[in-house]
Structure 1
Amino acid sequence: MVGTARVRDDARPVMTTAQRRIYEKTGNPPQTNALDDIDDPFAVPTLSMVTPKKPAKYRNTKCEHNGIKFDSQRERSHWFHLIQQQAAGLISDLRLQVSFVLTERKQRDDGTWERASKYVADFTYMRDGKLVVEDVKSEATRKNRAYIQKRKQMLDKHGITVKEIK
């Protein structure tokens, strides 16, 4: 004690409750000064340095089931529905993420190449001897100009109407 002030011997500053809880969970000590580890390229970023993850454009939640990755939970639940239909014998040859070429790769007059344009369908299957192409779409993605253009090209080039699942 010096006068009425209490002097601590610790060289290490005291952690706040939040810092202590983070330390207990992760085992990483809190950064005491923002300028301490600035030159260290191997420094682990603290929570204040990590930027929060940006949400998906259409607010979908990517998910996985048995190693199969789906762009949304609605797409995954429709996959389960189609598997049940295939097991019941209503559909056959069920496939995921099938790619259709809409325009071929072509060379321009100046010698550079123009990329091929493709449409990737969520699901394809055979029903009554006919190929069915399905795509799970929300209201917002159904109005996407690029999707609409590719849907029209599928009808024009392949004669296939894309069935939209809401």
Structure 2
Amino acid sequence: MERMTSAQLHALQKAETPKEDKRRVRGAQRIEVDGIMFDSKAEANRWRQLALLQRAGEISGLRRQVEIPLEGRDGPIMTDGGKRQRVYRADFVYVDHALGVQVIEDRKGHETDVFNLKKAILSAQGIEVLVT
């Protein structure tokens, strides 16, 4: 029986273990639709619905992956290194003509603690997030 060092074992394990995407929640799989990558099938399906609503004239200005800066009581909330401002990335942003307001929407199958924290910070900034 041949023996190996711990460094050899780690190298072997690293080579055999596929890299895990830490952003995936509950097994969501990335999917491409019309040349656009989405984090889940549910998000892709919601994009299709919103695109139809925009073509019908019910909404306008449809955008995806819109970054919204996070602000605290004392100013911008910075990353741990302090070099960049933290942001919330909305799945979709659009204007709903029936309501006459801009809608910030996040397609969630499961709300994480990080999402709930960012949603609370946005709420304190006067920004509400529609979770679908």
- Residue 57 of structure 1 deviates from its aligned partner by 4.2
Tell me, yes or no, if structure 1 residue 76 matches structure 2 residue 44: yes
1:27-46, CA deviations, whole angstroms, 9 ceiling, x for partnerless residues? xxxxxxxxxxxxxxxxxxxx
Would the alpha carbon gap of residues 54 and 149 (structure 1) be closer, same or farther in structure 2, given more than 3 Å must change?
closer
Report if the CA contact (8 A) 2:70-2:77 is conserved: no
Identical positions, percent? 34
Tell me, yes or no, if structure 1 residue 161 matches structure 2 residue 132: no
Alignment length (residue pairs): 108
Query: What RMSD over aligned residues (CA atoms) do the two structures have, in Å?
Result: 2.2
Report if the CA contact (8 A) 1:105-1:114 is conserved: no
- Choose from 100, 125, 129 the match for 2:94: 125
Query: Quick one: which amino acid aligns to residue 107 of structure 2?
Result: V
1:80-129, CA deviations, whole angstroms, 9 ceiling, x for partnerless residues? 000010011110000000000013266xxxxx735311100000000133
- Choose from 94, 99, 123 the match for 2:67: 99
Q: Structure 2: 5+ residue runs without aligned partners?
A: 1-14
Q: Tell me which of the two structures has the higher relative contact order, counting C-alpha pairs closer than 8 angstroms and 6 or more residues apart.
A: 2
Q: Identify the residue that residue 39 of structure 1 maps to in structure 2.
A: none
TM-score after normalising by structure 2: 0.72
Q: Identify the residue that residue 35 of structure 1 maps to in structure 2.
A: none
Report if the CA contact (8 A) 1:105-1:116 is conserved: yes
Q: Structure 1: 5+ residue runs without aligned partners?
A: 1-48, 107-111
* Distance in 2 (alpha carbons) for counterparts of 1:57 and 1:133: 21
Query: Quick one: which amino acid aligns to residue 70 of structure 1?
Result: F
Report if the CA contact (8 A) 2:65-2:90 is conserved: yes
TM-score after normalising by structure 1: 0.58
